[in-house]
Chains A and B, each alone.
Chain A
Amino acid sequence: MVPTTMSETPELHPGARRIVRVGASGKPEIAIDHWQRLGDDDPFPSLDALPVLVTLARAERDRQALEQRTGAWGVWVPGNADPEQIAERLRDRVLVAIEVTKFTDGRHYSLARLLRDRYGFTGELRAFGDVLPDQLSYMQRCGYSSFELAPGKSLETGLRCLTAFSVSYQGNTTDPRPLYRRRA
């Protein structure tokens, strides 16, 4: 199988990529995405309208510059971050991205869930890094709403994985009721 990668999609302009996003209807789809993830010393993109993701440290440092840009800004955090420490500073962002350093490190699942369920984050919650199609379903149920797959991973497989199950025993962010409160 040939994975879908950016290189096959010449119509995308530089800096754009395809991701999997769960739409408002709850249906997952492939979407084109322009968010630029910046390291603490990376310059802002020359195109002022491009939305950017920065670390919390940089958000504090460059707050003014961020507010002056026309593009939106969001925050990216490591998967082992403490929601207790950061939730307040994330609450108003339209997008928070969580880095999955290694797909076998499951701390980011608790982080995502707590940001949603405990700290009321309602924006887009994105996973990036070692994000593989076979974990998307667990991620979605923990509150993630978009996925930047690891390089070379098939978005179509990702979509298929998201619809593998019609039933789950546990509640989720949109409906906290476990199956035993929904059984019919």
Chain B
Amino acid sequence: MYRYDHYDQALVDQRVAQFRDQISRRLSGEITEDEFKPLRLQNGVYMQLHAYMLRVAIPYGLLSSDQLRMLAQVSRTYDRGYGHFSTRQNIQYNWPRLQDVPDLLADLATVQMHAIQTSGNCIRNTTSDHLAGVARDELVDPRVYCEIIRQWSTLHPEFAFLPRKFKIAVTGAPTADRAAVRVHDIGVRAIPGPGPDDPHGFQILVGGGLGRTPRIAEICREFLPREHLLSYLEAILRVYNRYGRRDNKFKARIKILVGALGIEAFSQQVEAEWALIRDGAMQLTQAEFDRVAADFADPGYAALESSDLFVQSLALSKDRALGRFVASNVIPHKQPGYSIVMISLKAKGKPPGDATAEQMELVAELADRYGFGRIVVAHEQNLVLPDVESRHLPDLHARLSALDLAEPNIGKVTDIIACPGLDYCNLANARSIPIATRISDKIEDLDYLHDLGDISLNISGCINACGHHHVGNIGILGIDKQGEEFYQLMLGGSPGDDASIGKILGPALPSAEIVDAVANVLRTYIDNRESADERFLDYVRRAGFEPFKEQLYGSNDHV
């Protein structure tokens, strides 16, 4: 993984010193809260319902075991012994004290981590495919470009006060988008060059996003030669910085600008700007590409036979706990003899994405023991051990089980993405986490869970959509009805290559009914699907909403 040189380290250290100075000036009253707010946001410090919250960047989700141990230590020293992994591959601490934040950040800097631009109206942490570098369907390793983008966007002097926040995602797998690039402000897709001998380049998508106005990104440029990546991003950002709306916070995202101009006019403006800078100093050099790529070279894999058959047999193991785990949480690795292991942070009764210090330390230890000391955070709020020798799977499963980290539900309907909701967030209309917990509790039968197959379920506590409910196969949105928590049920969303925005099924339901409604939807699917091969999403797309409405609301009643 990328290792800081003295420049990277100096920048992060100096950033800590700068923020320390800013906090002391805030505490002395030299700067007002209004002046301080963007400064603290761009250092990851949010005001939550009860206290300050700190969001620490995990660039493109990649962690070393030492870094994960530090995240655990920080949670013990400055917080309450746990952290929350977010949908953007970051970690959040819910209870640090403002005075402690500089020391906390200084501790993180010792392991090459920071909280720069994890919030505020600036370019945020660049996210990527959690299977980057190990997936079989990958064209190029997107992390190399993510790191290059990270450096370009870090303390970029022109783009620190954009109209609104700005999120970029990169995928290196042209046929398997696991980074949800189409619901980002900019989506970068690596694609093969036009000719057989041409190097890969990028398709650039722009204007995607969720929130109040969900929108699927459109193509801004079909093919961008890779050396121009940064100048092209700069051109988009400049057009946005100059012309994005600033009069209304809810219309300030780039998707509104793209929507207002139309993608053609927007991309013409970008191209005109780009034409003036493309051949300048921002062109990526081969030397820089090589320098960064060297840090993402494969670890020293052993030369092994394929383990595909072995893994398949484990999935059928008589030990059903192991079998289910392997069937749902283990993914084929590009390297023969190795497996990718997903660790679910969605155990029954636990807030999705939370991990205790002990759990983080265990995962770090297991990564050292079985997986070259690397861990990845997935945007689905799970962890990944990307490089496990397949023969260790049974041992690994046993170790994970001991700390409640072996929930066999990756990609299943209980692998719920949920925002913090009313329990933590001052914008919320309704709680999210308890709904997630109740749904997991409801679907007790693991055979039934696995029979349901791959289904994503996303919950947001308000229209800001931090739980990405629009792109859940099943989406749940908390709304407020005369002071009561109600929930809207949506179906048909998807964040991937077949991205779509879910649609509302019918009238919102009170908290007491929403969980049964989800169960009802799942039952309708199971009873009516063509075969076990027809995924939930495919069924919804084929059959439409009628079967669900009939079962849930009775034919014409509510609707």
Q: Given A1-B25, A104-B121, do A178 and B35 touch, yes or no (CB 8 Å)? A: no
The answer to whether B155 and A168 have CB atoms under 8 Å apart is yes
Contact with A along B139-155 (1 / 0, CB 8 A): 00000000010011011
**A110 within 8 Å of B (CB atoms):** yes
| Docked pose: A166 CA to B6 CA in angstroms | 11
The answer to whether B155 and A157 have CB atoms under 8 Å apart is no
A residues less than 8 Å from B238 (CB atoms): 110
Tell me which of B10, B14, B285 contacts A181 (CB under 8 A): B285
State which residues 492-522 of B face A: CB under 8 Å.
none
The answer to whether A179 and B7 have CB atoms under 8 Å apart is yes
Contact with A along B436-472 (1 / 0, CB 8 A): 0000000000000000000000000000000000000
A residues less than 8 Å from B151 (CB atoms): 169, 179-180
A residues less than 8 Å from B158 (CB atoms): 106, 109-110, 113, 138, 142
The answer to whether A170 and B157 have CB atoms under 8 Å apart is yes
**B17 within 8 Å of A (CB atoms):** yes
The answer to whether B280 and A176 have CB atoms under 8 Å apart is yes
Residue of A nearest to B242 (CB): A110
Interface of B (DSSP majority class):
helix
A residues less than 8 Å from B352 (CB atoms): none
- How far in angstroms is the closest Cβ of chain A from B337? 36
Contact with B along A112-151 (1 / 0, CB 8 A): 0100001000000000000010110111011000000000
A residues less than 8 Å from B5 (CB atoms): 183
| Docked pose: A128 CA to B282 CA in angstroms | 30
- How far in angstroms is the closest Cβ of chain B from A149? 12
Residue of A nearest to B161 (CB): A106
The answer to whether B288 and A106 have CB atoms under 8 Å apart is no
- How far in angstroms is the closest Cβ of chain A from B210? 23
B residues less than 8 Å from A134 (CB atoms): 22, 31, 35, 39
- How far in angstroms is the closest Cβ of chain B from A102? 9
Q: Given A107-B242, A176-B280, do A142 and B14 touch, yes or no (CB 8 Å)? A: no
- How far in angstroms is the closest Cβ of chain A from B154? 6
**B386 within 8 Å of A (CB atoms):** no
Tell me which of A166, A179, A183 contacts B14 (CB under 8 A): A166
The answer to whether B157 and A167 have CB atoms under 8 Å apart is no
**A89 within 8 Å of B (CB atoms):** no
| Docked pose: A14 CA to B155 CA in angstroms | 39
State which residues 160-218 of B face A: CB under 8 Å.
160-162
Interface of A (DSSP majority class):
loop
**A171 within 8 Å of B (CB atoms):** yes
**B303 within 8 Å of A (CB atoms):** no
| Docked pose: A105 CA to B17 CA in angstroms | 25
Tell me which of A113, A138, A177 contacts B281 (CB under 8 A): A177
The answer to whether B157 and A172 have CB atoms under 8 Å apart is yes
Q: Given A132-B35, A165-B11, A166-B14, do A141 and B285 touch, yes or no (CB 8 Å)? A: no
**B100 within 8 Å of A (CB atoms):** no
A-B contact count (CB 8 A): 110
**A55 within 8 Å of B (CB atoms):** no
**A63 within 8 Å of B (CB atoms):** no
The answer to whether B276 and A118 have CB atoms under 8 Å apart is yes
**A71 within 8 Å of B (CB atoms):** no
| Docked pose: A11 CA to B157 CA in angstroms | 36
The answer to whether B281 and A171 have CB atoms under 8 Å apart is yes
- How far in angstroms is the closest Cβ of chain B from A159? 13
The answer to whether B18 and A167 have CB atoms under 8 Å apart is no
The answer to whether A166 and B157 have CB atoms under 8 Å apart is no
**B48 within 8 Å of A (CB atoms):** no
State which residues 281-297 of B face A: CB under 8 Å.
281-282, 284-285, 287-288, 291
The answer to whether B18 and A106 have CB atoms under 8 Å apart is no
The answer to whether A106 and B281 have CB atoms under 8 Å apart is no
**B241 within 8 Å of A (CB atoms):** yes
The answer to whether A169 and B157 have CB atoms under 8 Å apart is no
**B3 within 8 Å of A (CB atoms):** no
**A65 within 8 Å of B (CB atoms):** no
The answer to whether A168 and B157 have CB atoms under 8 Å apart is yes
A residues less than 8 Å from B38 (CB atoms): 103-104
- How far in angstroms is the closest Cβ of chain A from B39? 6
**B266 within 8 Å of A (CB atoms):** no
**B481 within 8 Å of A (CB atoms):** no
**B28 within 8 Å of A (CB atoms):** yes
**A154 within 8 Å of B (CB atoms):** yes
Tell me which of B21, B31, B281 contacts A178 (CB under 8 A): B281
The answer to whether B152 and A157 have CB atoms under 8 Å apart is no
**B136 within 8 Å of A (CB atoms):** no
B residues less than 8 Å from A107 (CB atoms): 241-242, 246
Q: Given A109-B158, A157-B25, do A181 and B281 touch, yes or no (CB 8 Å)? A: yes
The answer to whether B10 and A106 have CB atoms under 8 Å apart is no
Residue of B nearest to A118 (CB): B276
Contact with B along A156-168 (1 / 0, CB 8 A): 0100110011111
The answer to whether B155 and A169 have CB atoms under 8 Å apart is yes
| Docked pose: A179 CA to B151 CA in angstroms | 9
- How far in angstroms is the closest Cβ of chain A from B509? 40
Q: Given A1-B28, A105-B246, A109-B241, do A138 and B157 touch, yes or no (CB 8 Å)? A: yes
**A45 within 8 Å of B (CB atoms):** no
The answer to whether B160 and A106 have CB atoms under 8 Å apart is yes
Residue of B nearest to A134 (CB): B39
Q: Given A1-B28, A3-B30, do A164 and B18 touch, yes or no (CB 8 Å)? A: yes
- How far in angstroms is the closest Cβ of chain A from B438? 41
- How far in angstroms is the closest Cβ of chain B from A140? 8
The answer to whether B17 and A164 have CB atoms under 8 Å apart is yes
A residues less than 8 Å from B14 (CB atoms): 164-167
**B156 within 8 Å of A (CB atoms):** yes
| Docked pose: A110 CA to B235 CA in angstroms | 11
**B159 within 8 Å of A (CB atoms):** yes
The answer to whether B35 and A103 have CB atoms under 8 Å apart is yes
Q: Quick one: which of B31, B155, B158 has the most chain A CB within 10 A?
A: B158
The answer to whether A167 and B10 have CB atoms under 8 Å apart is yes
Q: Mind listing 11 A-B residue pairs with CB under 8 Å? A: A1-B25, A105-B246, A134-B35, A135-B161, A138-B157, A141-B157, A164-B21, A165-B11, A168-B155, A169-B154, A181-B285
6 other contacts beyond A171-B282, A181-B285, with CB at 8 A cut-off?
Answer: A138-B158, A160-B21, A168-B11, A176-B281, A178-B282, A179-B151
Q: Which residues of B contact A (CB under 8 A)?
A: 5, 7, 10-11, 14-15, 17-18, 21-22, 25, 28, 30-31, 35, 38-39, 121, 148, 151-152, 154-162, 230, 238, 241-242, 246, 276, 280-282, 284-285, 287-288, 291
The 4 closest A-B pairs by CB, nearest first: A106-B161, A141-B157, A180-B288, A138-B157
